[in-house]
Amino acid sequence: MARYLASRLLVMPPILLGVVTILFLIFKMVPGDQALLAAGATATQAEIETIRHQLGLDRPLLAQYGAHLLGLLHGDFGYSTMFRGNPLPHILERVPATLTLAASAILVTIVIGIPAGILAASRQNRLADLLVSGSVTAFLSVPNFWLGMLLIAILSVGLRWLPSFGFDGLHSLVMPTLALAARLVAIIARLTRGLVIEEMRKPYVRTALAKGLTMHRVLWRHVLPNAMIPIITALGLEAGYLLGGAVVVERLFAWPGIGDLLLGGIGVRDYTLILAITVLFALGFLLLNLAVDLVCLAVNPRLRNG
Amino acid sequence: MAEAVIAARRALSRNRFLVIGAALLLGFAVFGEVLAPYDPDAQDLLALLEAPSLAHWCGTDEVGRDILSRLITGTRITMMIALLPVALAGLIGVSLGAVAGYLGGSVDRAISALIELLMTIPGLVLAIAIVAVVGANAAGLVAAITVSSTPPLARLIQARVRELRQEDYVSAAIVLGFRLPRILFLHVLPNAASVIVIQLSLLAGQAVLIGSALGFLGLGVQPPAPEWGSMLGASRQYIEIAPHVVIAPGLAIALLVFAFNMLGDGLRDRFDPNLSA
């Protein structure tokens, strides 16, 4: 287990290095003068040249790249025009908000998606199933930011139950979470429904029922554990959606996470900041997938000794 | 390829709503200006943020423009922003995937590594980074969606071609001395056609979602172009006083995504019954 974890963690730095390299090259293709952006519109030509030299923008590309990597080794992402320095501390300040949103979306997905799938499977082709399957189809087509707007229109403007934006206690977490989680809930509910229906046809279920176990026990003790692995794997496959969707949802609800900061960085063309946050998103993606694999390993004894 | 066309036709004929929907969308995309009841840019300052009525079926927006007319004329740009990148991603993804999967060895490893790296960055975040470089306009949007849609497609094609590479008829073609392009285009790719067609239609739905999200964030085509996502972005601040401004554009996006999803699911059921949920 420890060995597996170590091997998985060891491949992360090279992947992140690759991501940094690709982004570095892409951002160097940007038209426009970085020194001018950093100096501001009122700067004189001499000031711009001084800043160009200070930021190392007058050096060859390879030297700039080397300096960038060297800086990364001690957590320095370079000069961000928004923060007038290394953006990392300011980004890290905002990480908890994004983590809270992502974690609560995953929690909602599990708590709603799996039971909804089971319900639909056990009432196959009856009203509950049609309702669940219909909602699944709808939630897979609806853009999360529109769903968020509808929630604002109904829950804050209409009923005045919840604040429409901001970061203030559990109340303000509800709507962003629902907007972000809707697609995941739909995917997990659909998958759970299919898996449960498939498992229920297998001989071990008939055996368990024949020896007198209740349906309830068969479902929770035997069928669900078998369905867990594909469900968790599917969550991992949607890690990209979860993180990307967070950017849009954070902007809609003025949620102070790193996605909101990323869009702020786009507004002022702060490429140092954009690169840093994008790399952090890639790291988040890798860690989420690692977590998914570890959970799979934990719930499936067959994989443990492999 | 012929098989794919026949299956697409059959899937369409089985689903009448899809045909009607597709005809409607195509009609709007081509003849939008003629079909729209009002000039999509005409401002009526005496009718700001009016609720839906017989005169304005979807109401009017913050400067008194008819929302329905803007949706109809905006069909073209909204669909182009989704379909052009999907076509480009199809071209690039299929070539990369096919070459990598067929040749194997170091070419395969290099392309795989690139795909793997790009897939580490969440799709929307990658798209935002590309827009940051190319610019918040139609070209930037097309580039962004193309770059974020290509890796998953390429990976799928690569896996399928790697499988097909082992088939006897491919070995036979190699033994017969056929050239690489002939083997790839006449023997390998036609057998991957179903995977490609299914994936492209599902990708189109995702492209609409990414494109409208970028439009919503103000990173897409700039106003007053009536792209559906940017319409939502522009009218979002009026949600408290006139919720109707966000209803129709969002519904239009959802229906378009729904149509592409149904097409993809239908094709998948037809080609690959084992995969369908």
Residue located via tokens 């501390």: A89
Strand partners, A80: A85
| ipTM for the assembly | 0.89
CB contact under 8 A, B133 and A29: yes
From A306's Cα to the closest Cα of chain B, the distance in A is 24
Longest dimension (CA), chain B: 77
pLDDT tens digits along B12-48:
666 676 777 777 888 888 887 888 888 888 887 877 7
Long-range (24+ apart) CB contacts under 8 A made by A42-50 are none
Q: A120 and A132 in contact (C-beta within 8 Å)?
A: yes
User: Is residue B236 predicted with pLDDT exceeding 90?
Assistant: no
User: Is residue A265 predicted with pLDDT exceeding 70?
Assistant: yes
Verify that A115 and A257 share a domain, yes or no. yes
The residues, any chain, with a CB within 8 Å of residue B39's CB and separated by 6 or more, are B69
In a domain, A85, yes or no: no
Q: Among residues of chain A, what percentage have pLDDT more than 70?
A: 97
A73 vs B88: which has the higher pLDDT: B88
The residues, any chain, with a CB within 8 Å of residue A291's CB and separated by 6 or more, are none
pLDDT tens digits along A240-264:
999 999 999 999 999 999 999 999 9
CB contact under 8 A, A248 and B132: no
Question: What are the C-alpha distances in Å from B198 to residues A17, A58, A85, B268?
Answer: 34, 49, 47, 6
Looking at residue A284, what is its pLDDT? 94
Verify that A283 and A227 share a domain, yes or no. no
Looking at residue A194, what is its pLDDT? 92
In a domain, A231, yes or no: yes
pLDDT bucket at B277, cuts 50 / 70 / 90? very low
C-alpha to C-alpha distance for A250 and A99, rounded to whole angstroms: 12
Verify that A63 and A99 share a domain, yes or no. no
Looking at residue B163, what is its pLDDT? 87
pTM of this prediction?
0.88
In a domain, A161, yes or no: yes
CB contact under 8 A, B121 and A285: yes
Verify that A54 and A165 share a domain, yes or no. no
pLDDT tens digits along A272-296:
999 999 999 999 999 999 999 888 8
In a domain, A87, yes or no: no
Residue located via tokens 């024949």: A210
Verify that A99 and A205 share a domain, yes or no. yes
DSSP string, B10-72: HHHHH-HHHHHHHHHHHHHHHHHHHH-SS-TT---TTSTTPPP-SSSTT-B-TTS-BHHHHHH
In a domain, A64, yes or no: yes
pLDDT bucket at B276, cuts 50 / 70 / 90? very low
Chain B residues within an 8 Å CB radius of A27? 132-133
Q: B204 and B220 in contact (C-beta within 8 Å)?
A: no
Question: What is the crossing angle of helices A61-73 and A12-28, to 10°?
Answer: 140
User: Is residue A108 predicted with pLDDT exceeding 90?
Assistant: yes
User: Is residue B3 predicted with pLDDT exceeding 80?
Assistant: no
From A257's Cα to the closest Cα of chain B, the distance in A is 14
Least confident segment among A200-204, B36-40, B87-91, B160-164: B36-40
Verify that A189 and A148 share a domain, yes or no. yes
In a domain, A43, yes or no: yes
Task: Work out the average pLDDT over A55-71.
Answer: 84
C-alpha to C-alpha distance for B73 and A258, rounded to whole angstroms: 36
Question: What are the C-alpha distances in Å from A306 to residues A298, A300, B55, B149?
Answer: 13, 11, 68, 34
Verify that A28 and A10 share a domain, yes or no. yes
Q: Which helix (H) or strand (E) holds A84?
A: none
Looking at residue B274, what is its pLDDT? 56
Work out the mean pLDDT of chain A and round it to a whole number. Answer: 88
C-alpha to C-alpha distance for A116 and A135, rounded to whole angstroms: 10
C-alpha to C-alpha distance for B39 and B54, rounded to whole angstroms: 17
> Tell me, what CATH number does A162's domain have?
1.10.3720.10
pLDDT bucket at B145, cuts 50 / 70 / 90? very high
In a domain, A89, yes or no: no
> What would the two tokens of residue A42 be?
């009122």
CB contact under 8 A, A285 and B122: yes
DSSP-derived secondary structure letter, A85: B
In a domain, A129, yes or no: yes
CB contact under 8 A, B250 and A150: yes
Verify that A55 and A197 share a domain, yes or no. no
From A272's Cα to the closest Cα of chain B, the distance in A is 11
Verify that A28 and A155 share a domain, yes or no. no
pLDDT tens digits along A117-167:
999 998 888 898 999 999 998 999 999 999 999 998 888 877 878 777 766
Task: Work out the average pLDDT over B45-64.
Answer: 82
From A17's Cα to the closest Cα of chain B, the distance in A is 10
Residue located via tokens 């390879």: A62
Looking at residue B4, what is its pLDDT? 67
User: Is residue A37 predicted with pLDDT exceeding 80?
Assistant: no
Identify which of B122, B219, B239 has the shortest CB distance to residue A266: B219
CB contact under 8 A, A146 and B250: yes
C-alpha to C-alpha distance for B232 and B245, rounded to whole angstroms: 8
Task: Work out the average pLDDT over A221-225.
Answer: 87
Verify that A283 and A143 share a domain, yes or no. no
Verify that A257 and A274 share a domain, yes or no. no
pLDDT bucket at A304, cuts 50 / 70 / 90? low
Q: How many domains does chain A have?
A: 2
DSSP string, A185-232: HHHHHHHHHHHHHHHHTSHHHHHHHHTT--HHHIIIIIIHHHHHHHHH
Q: Give residue A222's domain range.
A: 94-261
User: Is residue B1 predicted with pLDDT exceeding 60?
Assistant: no
From B202's Cα to the closest Cα of chain A, the distance in A is 11
Chain A residues within an 8 Å CB radius of B116? 15
pLDDT tens digits along B59-102:
888 888 888 889 888 889 899 988 999 999 999 999 999 889 88
Looking at residue A225, what is its pLDDT? 85
A162 touches chain B (CB under 8 A): no
Task: Work out the average pLDDT over A18-26.
Answer: 91
Identify which of A243, A248, A286 has the shortest CB distance to residue B217: A248
Q: B212 and B229 in contact (C-beta within 8 Å)?
A: yes
Nearest-by-CA chain B residue for A282 = B121
Q: Is A168 helix (H, G, I), strand (E, B) or coil?
A: coil
C-alpha to C-alpha distance for B197 and B8, rounded to whole angstroms: 9
B222 vs A100: which has the higher pLDDT: A100
> What would the two tokens of residue B167 be?
């088939």
One-letter amino acid identity for A63? A
C-alpha to C-alpha distance for B44 and A164, rounded to whole angstroms: 30
> What would the two tokens of residue A44 be?
């004189």
Residue located via tokens 């999200």: B213
Looking at residue A28, what is its pLDDT? 83
Listed by number, the residues of chain A in 236-295 with a beta carbon closer than 8 Å to a beta carbon of chain B are 239-245, 247-248, 251-252, 262-263, 266, 269, 271, 274, 277-278, 281-282, 285-286
pLDDT tens digits along A87-103:
999 999 999 999 999 99
b/e A110-136 (16+ beta carbons within 10 angstroms → b): bebbbebbbbbbbeeeeeebeebbebb
Verify that A29 and A131 share a domain, yes or no. no
Beta carbons within 10 angstroms of residue A38's beta carbon = 20
User: Is residue A215 predicted with pLDDT exceeding 90?
Assistant: no
Listed by number, the residues of chain B in 200-259 with a beta carbon closer than 8 Å to a beta carbon of chain A are 205, 209, 212-213, 216-217, 219, 229, 232, 236, 239-240, 243, 246-247, 250, 253-255, 257-258
User: Is residue B136 predicted with pLDDT exceeding 90?
Assistant: no
